[in-house]
Amino acid sequence: MYPLFESVCIANGEIQNAFYHESRFKLSFYAFFGFEAKYSLFDKVILPQIDKSLKCKLRIEYNEIGTKWTISEYLNTLPTSLLLLKDNEIDYRLKYADRKHLNHLYHQKINFEDVLIIKNGFVTDATYSNILFTDGYKIVTPSTPLLLGTCRTRLLAEEKITEVPIKAASIHLFKSFQLINALNDFNENRWIPIQNIVIA
């Protein structure tokens, strides 16, 4: 059994953001198992010859003694409409292989493409992505995410975004949003009108 995993982007035939995935792996490993990992996340990963025009997803599952990994082609399917859902019990602090709770919320999206989860009144994440907001000047991300995504962490470190607490009632103050994750980096041309987020 492999209770935790990382989803890693392969672009131009190369692993992207390896430092941030390795860092999250080490922190998550210690938090879950209670001791430091004796191996690296990428120890046994050997990339095959990959068409450099393709984007691929490297999924690395891991437990206390080792990993298993698979590679698949990734097609961009980022949601562009979100339904706001409240859930004060959700906990996805680590990248658990068990996504039953998230999947349950996802299936409540009705005619929307995904849900945006509100916990204790604050904006967290969509089911597969962190979220960014802009008022046309600043780019911010909620300081209350469910999961500390690797793309989000890198953008914060590069000071391209800042984190602030965002209440559900404040979403309308922003002009637009975009979703980001390990497979979908920030893109200045990918902003979506804030009206595409609707309260259930």
Task: Check residue 76 and give its pLDDT.
Answer: 76
Identify whether the C-beta of residue 80 lies closer than 8 Å to the C-beta of residue 26: no
What CA–CA distance (Å, rounded) separates 87 from 91?
A: 10
* Beta bridge partners of residue 33, listed in sequence order: none
Enumerate residues 6+ apart whose C-beta is below 8 A from 71.
10, 47, 48, 50, 56, 57, 58, 59
Mean pLDDT along residues 148-167:
98
Model confidence, pTM: 0.95
Classify residue 31 by burial, with Cβ atoms within 10 Å: 0-12, 13-18, 19+.
exposed
- pLDDT of 133 higher than 80: yes
Task: Check residue 50 and give its pLDDT.
Answer: 86
- pLDDT of 200 higher than 80: no
* Structure tokens given for 193: 């009108």
Task: Check residue 199 and give its pLDDT.
Answer: 85
Task: Check residue 77 and give its pLDDT.
Answer: 79
- pLDDT of 51 higher than 90: no
* Structure tokens given for 22: 């390795």
How many other C-beta atoms can be found within 10 angstroms of the C-beta atom of residue 63?
Answer: 15
Task: Check residue 3 and give its pLDDT.
Answer: 98
**Residue 195 one-letter amino acid:** Q
Tens of pLDDT, residues 64-123: 999 999 999 998 778 999 999 999 999 999 999 999 999 999 999 999 999 999 999 999
Tens of pLDDT, residues 159-198: 999 999 999 999 999 999 999 999 999 999 999 999 999 9
